[in-house]
Amino acid sequence: MYRDLRSKVVGSLGKLLFLVVCFGVSGVTGILGQGSQEISDDDGIPVLIKHLPEWENGRDSTVFITDRSALRAQFPGKNFVDLVDFAGGTEAVTARYSSGRLLIIEFATPQAAADADSKFLASNVASSDPGAAYRRIGNYSVFVFDSASPEAAAALLDQVRYEKTIQWLGEDPFLLQKLERYFVTTTRDIFISTVLWIIGGFGISILIGIVSGFIFFKMREQQRATRRTFSDAGGLVRLNLDNLSEN
Q: Are 83 and 111 in contact (CB under 8 A)?
A: no
Whole-structure pTM value: 0.52
Decide if 83 contacts 116 (C-beta within 8 A): yes
Query: What's at 64, amino acid-wise?
Result: F
Q: What are phi and psi of 178, to 5 degrees?
A: -65, -40
Average pLDDT per 10 consecutive residues for the chain, totaling 247 residues? 47 44 36 54 80 83 90 88 87 90 90 90 76 88 88 89 67 77 90 93 93 89 72 59 58
Q: Where are the domains of the chain?
A: 31-158, 168-224
**Side-chain half-sphere CA neighbours of 62 within 13 A:** 20
Question: Which tens digit of pLDDT belongs to each residue from 35-55?
Answer: 556 676 677 788 888 888 888
Residues 6+ apart with CB under 8 A from 30: none
Q: Do residues 126 and 158 lie in contact, with contact meaning Cβ atoms separated by under 8 Å?
A: no
Q: Please give the Cα distance from 143 to 56 (Å, whole number).
A: 20
Query: Would you state the pLDDT for residue 19?
Result: 38
- Give tens-digit pLDDT for 70-100: 999 999 988 888 899 888 889 999 999 988 8
Distance CA(161)–CA(154), nearest Å, equals: 13
